[in-house]
Structure 1
Amino acid sequence: MIQRLARVRSPLTLALLVAAAVVFVQALLVPLFAGPAVNQAPRDLPVVVAGPPQATAGLTQQLAARQPGAFEIRTVPDAASAEQALRDREAYAAFVVGADGLTLYTASAASPTVAALLTQAMTESPTGTPVRVVDVVPGDPDDPRGAGFGSGFLPLALTSVLVGVALTLLNLGRAARLTGLLAYGVLAGLAGAAVLHGWLGVLSGSYLLNAAALGLFTLAVSATVGGLGTALGPAGLGVGALLVFLVGNALSGVASAPEMLPQPWGTLGQWLPIGAGGTLLRSTAFFDGAGAVAPALILAGYAVVGLLLTLVRKDRSSSDPAVKGALPN
């Protein structure tokens, strides 16, 4: 497309075409980012109900009728099972019916947005009695609303895209490209975890596990962009940046939860690096690794395929006329 624009001889025509093309892209990006935010609401949100069979049956019916399609409800026998489901990342919340009434168990570390939404919605039980709220898995006390966690992904994704672009445009050899991507993943993971964990205090858990999660995420992003750029040229860099950064960021659900986005976009976002990276980091930081297998495999797949694609283009050797001309006689 750029080559076609370059063949347009009239500067005025070229300027108008560039302006129209940018506005067209802008018209697509605005709903991509604003649409999911405007339409946030629970959609098949995994929750559990615990208590005596007769009470849980009635509560399940009331929850389903209150907001059809909002919850994917599973029944467990008691409060201990409900709490374990939250710690295993099998549910975002639990409604526990006991002798003292209804108690809402939340896991704000999984999604502060969901925890706040359910807490606000359940200020009173369906029977009109007050509801006690227990945060089973809280987020880091220095980041109770999760704003730092969500905001931390944007610069990591952006710099990872830039690394993939830079290593491609520098026209390095296979070994250098591969070494650069692997080194970046290790260093970005260690540095990112040091900032988010030690400096800003928005992550809990093991520093090394968080560093491994961030390293795998940044490697997946940079290798995907670099691999597509190596295999397809400038068009591949554009596709990689669009897929990984623009689309992936909008559909990631990092700031809320994938079940809060319109479907199937919330599910699709979990198959892209930023969505998988956010889920993996929450698992390592707050849930002792529970729920980490699927996002780790997704990121590893992006990383492996991206690294393999970076090996497509041959090294430039002294037989290359451009290199030979640059060598001293």
Structure 2
Amino acid sequence: MRSSLAIRAVGVAVGAALLQLVMITAFSWPVARMAPRDVPVIVTGPQAAAVAVRLDRERPGAFAIETRRDEAAARAALENREAYGAIVTAPPGPKVLTASAASPVVAQQLGAMAAQLGQRAAAPAAPVQDVVAADPDDPRGAGFGALALPLIMSGLAAAVLLTFAVPSAAWRAAGVLLFAVLGGFGVAALAQGWLSLLPGSYLTLAGVMSLTVLAVTGTVAGLGAVLGRAGIGIGSLTLLLLGNPLSAATSAPELLPQPWGAIGQFLPPGASATLLRSAAFFDGADAAGALTVLGAWAVAGFALLGVGGLRARTSDEGVRDREPAMA
């Protein structure tokens, strides 16, 4: 008996230590390896070609450079989320355009690059204009990034509670839907009202929040309905250990090691951050991909809940059919 308990204690301790290492790696590694990788940047003006060559030579692989016909086209690209910044060349000197709403971190890096452009031209630092600015109450995006983890964790907690407290898969699905609506509208009111982190339409933001909660809670509850506790564990670890660190909510997908930055956009936390930025700051520009990802996860979650409900019903019918025979 004592040896069995000792083996169990050692096994739990070793497993917990390994899980600790995995969690630290998952959350720290993307941040420690953050650097620009093919960040979309626009160049325009008479010296656009020379600037593009210089950037590619001095920072190879950092920027995906495109040329536009003039400054107006460059501004439109930033407003449509086609690029994070632009360098406008002109005889008086270069000018840098940023969109801190898309990524305050990238905007800061482009601002530092503006100072370097000015030094090369033996002139003051190139002026920087923020075309699509972050919320003035959250200029560095720290509050926006802090929304990601609680939103995911609360969705996971709701899925666990619904799985163990509601035996019926149909009523569990109804609980998921109700929680998504209440949670989405509540979080949107908190983020836009008291915390003042997000501008834009309240109903639109609440819809994005609700869809995020629906994708997270529905998926984990659905996996729990089909696979039991193992499904809850798989769903929770996937969304928490992969989805949250790879969401780029505090940076940008192009700053994370690839292909992990791109993979993160196919998970609910990353898609949610992208969709929230588009809805709050860019009038929905470039939102279709993230909206599709969240919708697909939500549909998959309810499909899994349906499968779990059918399986439970079949099992119950089998038990009832055997009871008369046994009697």
Map 1:275-294; keep pairs closer than 5 Å: 275-294=270-289
Distance 1:164 1:128, change over 3 A: farther
Note the C-alpha offset of 1:124: 3.0
Give 2:17's aligned residue.
23
Give 2:53's aligned residue.
61
Q: What CA RMSD, in Å, does the superposition of the two structures yield over aligned residues?
A: 1.9
Note the C-alpha offset of 1:159: 0.5
Note the C-alpha offset of 1:189: 1.2
Q: Could you tell me the percent identity over the aligned residues? A: 45
The answer to whether the aligner puts 1:156 opposite 2:151 as a matched pair is yes
Note the C-alpha offset of 1:318: 8.6
TM-score (norm 1): 0.91
Distance 1:22 1:67, change over 3 A: same
In structure 1, stretches of 5+ residues that fail to align are 1-6, 323-329
Map 1:33-52; keep pairs closer than 5 Å: 33-52=27-46
The answer to whether the aligner puts 1:84 opposite 2:79 as a matched pair is no
> Segments of 4+ in structure 1 off by > 6 A?
316-322
Distance in 2 separating the partners of 1:67 and 1:276: 28
Alignment-mate amino acid for residue 289 of structure 1 = G
- Cα deviation code 1:35-75 (max 9, x no counterpart): 111111000001110112xx111000001111100000000
**Quick check: 2:98–2:132 contact (8 Å CA) kept in 1?**
yes
Alignment-mate amino acid for residue 29 of structure 1 = M
Alignment-mate amino acid for residue 272 of structure 1 = L
Alignment-mate amino acid for residue 21 of structure 2 = A
Map 1:303-318; keep pairs closer than 5 Å: 303-314=298-309
TM-score (norm 2): 0.92
Alignment-mate amino acid for residue 46 of structure 1 = P
In the alignment, which of 98, 104, 113 is matched to residue 96 of structure 2?
104
The alignment partner of 1:250 has SS state of coil
Distance in 2 separating the partners of 1:109 and 1:142: 12
Alignment-mate amino acid for residue 300 of structure 2 = V
The alignment partner of 2:86 has SS state of strand
The answer to whether the aligner puts 1:219 opposite 2:211 as a matched pair is no
Give 1:167's aligned residue.
162
Distance in 2 separating the partners of 1:318 and 1:294: 41
Give 1:4's aligned residue.
none
Give 1:256's aligned residue.
251
The alignment partner of 1:58 has SS state of helix
Alignment-mate amino acid for residue 110 of structure 1 = A
In structure 2, stretches of 5+ residues that fail to align are 321-327
The answer to whether the aligner puts 1:181 opposite 2:173 as a matched pair is no
Distance in 2 separating the partners of 1:120 and 1:92: 14
Distance in 2 separating the partners of 1:161 and 1:318: 28
Note the C-alpha offset of 1:8: 9.1
